[in-house]
Structure 1
Amino acid sequence: MTVRRSLSAQARLGRQAQARLTRRSFLTASAGLGVAAALAGCGGGFGDSSGGTSGGGSGGDGPEFDIPDAPSGFPTGDVTFRLVDSNDTKAPYWEAFFEAYQAKFENVTCQYDGLPWNRIEEVVPLGFRNGSGHDLIQLPGSITLAQAVSEGWVSPLDEFIPDVEQWRGALPDTLQVEGVQVFDGLLYQVPLATDQRYQQAVHYNKQLVNDAGFDPQSEPLTWDTFREAARKVTEAGDGQAYGLILEINQPGRLSMWVEYMARIAGLPATGNILQPSGEFIHTGDEIVEAIELLLAVQSDGSLFPGSNSLTAPECWPRVVRGNAGMVFAGPWVTVQWENENPDFEFGVGALPTPGGGDPLPVGYIPFGADALVMSATSQVKEVAGHVLAYVTSLNGQTRWGEITGVGNPPMHDEAREASAADYSEQARACLDLADTMTALPQPAIVNPDVALVAQREVAPSPNFGEVIQSILVGEVTDIRAALTDLKDRHERARDAAIQEATTRDGSTATRQDWVFSNWDPTRDYTTEDYAGR
């Protein structure tokens, strides 16, 4: 039995596309603004593409899909159920699941449209406008859930999920926040994956790095030994191999790396906001020092020539080929290397630490990823609810983890562990790094009106990643002056957006909604902590 897939050419493009969340949407989400962008998720990471079926797990072995029987109200005549999302590592799951679903319910034809983000930005709004939309939808970053609810484009899930009280009781509190996923007590959106992924791990060629005397997976690097390792790999490579390859032509990855490094070094930041001052992070000493570390590696001659023009997907294969020893990447690269280069020996380690103290953990947004909504015009809401209930169940989530692999772990903790039973050493290392991360506080939980600010805020240009890029390519030499200018532009943009949202939208959001005086960076910020902020 074949799952129907329309726009198949676009679906194939989706696996190759580099389009994911833009840097703007990531900064918005990490500041607690763009909840829709965070929930949209990015199975291959920001601006990255994992390409093809993901591994890092059993890849389809293990328990079969244990799909429940049809609930009351389920259609008996022939119907077509349609789902659209951003493809990447999710596609193999949907294809396998829909084949099983059609086998169980012969009257249901499942149509899966896995599209690149630029096509989702076209297809989904058009479907909302003319009433021809898919039944389950991954919202584009340009449409917030609050907007979709207020416009009547999406339906609450509660009425169409079987045993909804039990189902909602199993969901974490952070996935049922009024003004985020819930409006007037009704749940409109649910994620399938977690955003607790360590997206800047050191992925390295074991032969090159081990021969240089280092093994970051067993002995994490410090800033000094990272620079030394890069230099020794370069020296041994004699012009054929370099210590580090960097995606300088992908600014969003640069800013994420700097933020990770600064946070590990002690920067008290929740997203791009300092605590407890509520100011933007860009002039912090840790930010400057992280950038200076990259400049030092560059001045040593340890950076792969041509890095200025490379994106992340263009960097990864060069490590496999032995042209570079190390690259910073998320778990989707572990998946890709294991699938496409099964004989390649590589390791996965944590980011370098400054040394001289315990590093702080990296934070993540606790709203999940790859979230779906139900179209208000769907003619098969009972099917859509039945599908959502299963794919968020323990069995459905375990299968998700097995098929999508470590690159896109399920949001269900028990399923995440169960699906990892047969993971490789490298995939387990990715999960172990993710387990060190802590849940960040979210302004949207404090005051849902921050979403109104997000809609009004104009991101500074050039942005953080573009400023770092300009520094690395030599266009900017005064680092602190450039970062001070960036911070000032961010502060003005935030203040202007708050004022405009207050005047035009009736927003009650203030700068204090981004302040969490009781935040402890070494542990998860829980729902109980909000009362004491």
Structure 2
Amino acid sequence: MQIFSSTFGRRSLLLGGAAMATAAAGCSIDTGTPSAKPTAAGSEAAAEFVFDTTGVKLPTDKVAFRWLDSGDLKAKYLDPVIASFGEQHSNVTVTYDGAGWDQVNQVVPLGIRNGSAPDVFALPQNVPPQTAIAEGWVQPLDSVIPNFDKWRAAFPDTALIPGIHVFDGKVYSWPLNSTRRLEKMLFTSTDLADKAGVDPDAIKTWDDFRDAAKKLTGAGKPGYLVTGDHLWVVAMYLANTAGWRGVMTDGLDMRTGKYSFASDEFISAVEFLKSLVADGSVVPGYLTLKDADARAQFPAGIAGSMFNGPWDLRAWKEKSPDFNFTLNPLPSPDGKPYHIPFAERGANQTWLYAKTPIPEVAGVILNYLGSVEGQTKMVELTQGTLVSMIPEANESVDHALLDPNAKKAAELARELMRAAPQLELRTADAGKIKMELKPVEPGLQNVMQGIMSGQLPDAKKALAELDGKLQAALEGAFTAAKAAGADADFQQTVFPNWDPSKEYTQADYDALG
């Protein structure tokens, strides 16, 4: 089986508002840690990138181009590409600023007010795309990217989604990479496992993991690392291994259109986590630990094991080259195979400033970034940790440039993850519905913290109350959107032909009529 050779399916549903307020934060699709100081032309342009400027009238005077986003792994790709453009066009001073989400949240709104926003930027976390468009922050890409029709045609038919990337028939943003990647796999410190007599490859069931965590703890280090701000993600993934049909990341069962956090499968995942705490196997003070900080400490031996995604592989390799670990799929309750349903809407979107004085520069760079050649380079420069939504790009990579652990993570994602149906591909008015979705407080993140801390002793009751609030918010959004003239029928969230063990394809949408 080839690691980067299959057509990636769709992912997504009605996320946003109530669902992600469920978590009070997004999943770890993008950890958003700063990628170091802003860099300019010449900093990392080790590779040659060919930019197509055919028919484009680029500026000849001195101009400055700035790109601002949350940084992290994607900086390994964006930084050298943008720097290379500056090297090839000496009159253009370029800056890639991967400064983290705090900087994005502050700088972009201020730049909009002052008329000096970066030419390309990530939207602040509290600004929906519809708001940015309505307020005139951003502009569509259709007339900016050269040979736009050819550029768009390289993506799968369902890659650019109404209400996420496409608004009023215009493409405003696009997914830099796929979200078909497991946010939670089992990572185990090889050295600590050897010391404790634990074989990570033999951990297949929840009981296997519980026993291994006890042994690791008994050998001198906490057996398991989990953090308060990611308990909810861990619980969702564990519940999926038990057969729960909640779709990452909002937990809606797309077969019924219902939330089911109080289901037996989810409750069993919660009880499993509580058993690890009761065993004394969890890192002390885990409820106040921040996930990004804790993950960075894993190579130093903060714990023997953790459930983590692939985003730290590159950082661990660079900063802790002597750290040895194993990577395995999550255990399931009885060791049986499972599937993780997910919504493929892509990750790491950026937007073009409506008042940029040099849209031609942005267009040429964006044209390369989203091309088959550019997407192939993305996979290679991130050593396989980022995967493209363009199948041809994944098939074209030089496998010698990929990190073995990243390749294994990608392979596991292909084996275990299945694209679920999503509302945005059923109604073009999904964005209007989403705008009516009211946040639910407390969300899943706070409810999970309350359960684990003992403040909410009846987990089933607390989660049932959350289900009710989320359901009311979702149905209320449909009612409000319909009253405003949108194509909004709550039955659009119900996909009776969805089989969570299979990819949900365009043919499945068509079969609904």
Into which bin does the TM-score normalised by the smaller protein fall? 0.7 to 0.9
In 2, the alpha carbon distance for the partners of 1:276 and 1:73 equals 51
In 2, the alpha carbon distance for the partners of 1:425 and 1:214 equals 22
What TM-score comes out, normalization by structure 1 length? Answer: 0.84
In 2, the alpha carbon distance for the partners of 1:63 and 1:399 equals 9
- Map 1:124-203 onto structure 2 (within 5 A): 124-203=108-187
| Aligned match for 1:235, one of 218, 231, 237 | 218
- Map 1:270-349 onto structure 2 (within 5 A): 270-271=247-248, 272-349=251-328
User: SS where residue 176 of structure 2 aligns?
Assistant: strand
User: SS where residue 244 of structure 1 aligns?
Assistant: coil
- 1:521 alignment counterpart: 500
Q: 1:62 to 1:358 in 2, by over 3 A?
A: farther
AA in 2 matched with 1:413: P
Q: What is the CA distance between 1:210 and its match in structure 2?
A: 4.0
- Map 1:57-456 onto structure 2 (within 5 A): 64-69=48-53, 71-216=55-200, 218-237=201-220, 241-248=221-228, 250=229, 253-271=230-248, 272-355=251-334, 357-359=336-338, 361-416=339-394, 418=397, 420-436=399-415, 437-456=417-436
Assess if the C-alpha contact under 8 Å between 2:226 and 2:283 holds in 1: yes
Q: 1:62 to 1:211 in 2, by over 3 A?
A: farther
In 1, the alpha carbon distance for the partners of 2:281 and 2:272 equals 12
Assess if the C-alpha contact under 8 Å between 1:34 and 1:451 holds in 2: no
Assess if the C-alpha contact under 8 Å between 1:233 and 1:242 holds in 2: yes
Assess if the C-alpha contact under 8 Å between 1:275 and 1:516 holds in 2: yes
- Identical residues among aligned pairs (%): 34
Q: 1:99 to 1:51 in 2, by over 3 A?
A: closer
Supply the RMSD in Å over aligned alpha carbons.
2.9
User: SS where residue 81 of structure 1 aligns?
Assistant: strand
Q: What is the CA distance between 1:261 and its match in structure 2?
A: 1.3
Q: 1:153 to 1:177 in 2, by over 3 A?
A: same
- 1:472 alignment counterpart: 452
Assess if the C-alpha contact under 8 Å between 1:220 and 1:352 holds in 2: yes
What TM-score comes out, normalization by structure 2 length? Answer: 0.87
User: SS where residue 187 of structure 2 aligns?
Assistant: strand
User: SS where residue 80 of structure 1 aligns?
Assistant: strand
Assess if the C-alpha contact under 8 Å between 1:270 and 1:441 holds in 2: no
Q: 1:303 to 1:401 in 2, by over 3 A?
A: same
Q: What is the CA distance between 1:130 and its match in structure 2?
A: 4.7
Q: 1:481 to 1:342 in 2, by over 3 A?
A: same
* Range that drifts further, 336-345 or 218-227: 218-227
User: SS where residue 208 of structure 1 aligns?
Assistant: helix
In 1, the alpha carbon distance for the partners of 2:63 and 2:487 equals 45
Q: 1:42 to 1:456 in 2, by over 3 A?
A: closer
In 1, the alpha carbon distance for the partners of 2:121 and 2:481 equals 28
Assess if the C-alpha contact under 8 Å between 1:193 and 1:410 holds in 2: yes
Q: 1:321 to 1:121 in 2, by over 3 A?
A: closer
AA in 2 matched with 1:481: K
User: SS where residue 93 of structure 2 aligns?
Assistant: strand
Q: What is the CA distance between 1:319 and its match in structure 2?
A: 3.4
Matched, 1:511 2:487: no
User: SS where residue 421 of structure 1 aligns?
Assistant: helix
Q: 1:420 to 1:255 in 2, by over 3 A?
A: farther
In 1, the alpha carbon distance for the partners of 2:139 and 2:183 equals 33
AA in 1 matched with 2:357: Q
Q: What is the CA distance between 1:346 and its match in structure 2?
A: 0.5
User: SS where residue 203 of structure 1 aligns?
Assistant: strand
Q: What is the CA distance between 1:78 and its match in structure 2?
A: 2.4
AA in 2 matched with 1:377: K
Assess if the C-alpha contact under 8 Å between 1:120 and 1:140 holds in 2: yes
Assess if the C-alpha contact under 8 Å between 2:30 and 2:348 holds in 1: no
Q: What is the CA distance between 1:226 and its match in structure 2?
A: 0.8
How many residues are treated as equivalent by the alignment? Answer: 488
User: SS where residue 83 of structure 1 aligns?
Assistant: strand
| Aligned match for 2:14, one of 32, 46, 49 | 32
Q: What is the CA distance between 1:330 and its match in structure 2?
A: 1.0
Q: What is the CA distance between 1:133 and its match in structure 2?
A: 2.5
* Range that drifts further, 389-398 or 278-287: 389-398
AA in 2 matched with 1:340: K
Matched, 1:482 2:462: yes
Q: What is the CA distance between 1:387 and its match in structure 2?
A: 0.5
In 1, the alpha carbon distance for the partners of 2:499 and 2:461 equals 30
Assess if the C-alpha contact under 8 Å between 1:44 and 1:407 holds in 2: no
Q: What is the CA distance between 1:281 and its match in structure 2?
A: 1.9
1:219-256 per-position Cα deviation (integer Å, ceiling 9, x unaligned): 4521110111111112222xxx12112112x1xx1111
Assess if the C-alpha contact under 8 Å between 1:283 and 1:484 holds in 2: yes
Structure 2 unpaired stretches of 5+: 1-10, 38-43
AA in 1 matched with 2:285: G
Structure 1 unpaired stretches of 5+: 1-28, 54-59
